[in-house]
């Protein structure tokens, strides 16, 4: 993610929008959310509201990716 000009808390959140480490079927879910996050980073100034919005978007992305994981997938321990 491109985070130039943003505050450290926003940079810390932005790193969790990466999708290239995921298998292709999960990238298909994660990538559009990551692209939206990047658009917000590119167009909005750093602020508490941007940080809050990114946190909420991250929560949504995590839920959507988990929804795409087959129910019989092995659990990591």
Contact predicate 11/3, CB 8 Å? yes
pLDDT exceeds 80 at position 62? yes
**Residue 54: pLDDT band by 50, 70, 90 thresholds?**
very high
Q: Is 43 exposed, middle or buried (0-12, 13-18, 19+ CB in 10 A)?
A: exposed
- List pLDDT tens digits, range 4-33: 999 999 999 999 999 999 999 999 999 999
Q: Can you give the pTM of this predicted structure? A: 0.88
DSSP symbol at 21: T
Closest CA to 13 of 70, 53, 73, 65: 53
pLDDT of residue 30: 98
Percent of the chain with pLDDT over 70: 94
């Amino acid at each position: 993610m491109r985070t130039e000009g943003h505050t450290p808390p926003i940079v810390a959140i932005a790193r969790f929008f990466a999708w290239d480490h995921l298998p292709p079927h999960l990238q298909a879910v994660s990538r559009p959310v990551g692209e939206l996050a990047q658009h917000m980073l590119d167009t909005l100034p750093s602020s508490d509201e941007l940080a809050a919005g990114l946190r909420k978007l991250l929560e949504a992305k995590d839920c959507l990716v988990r929804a795409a994981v087959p129910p019989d997938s092995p659990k990591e321990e």
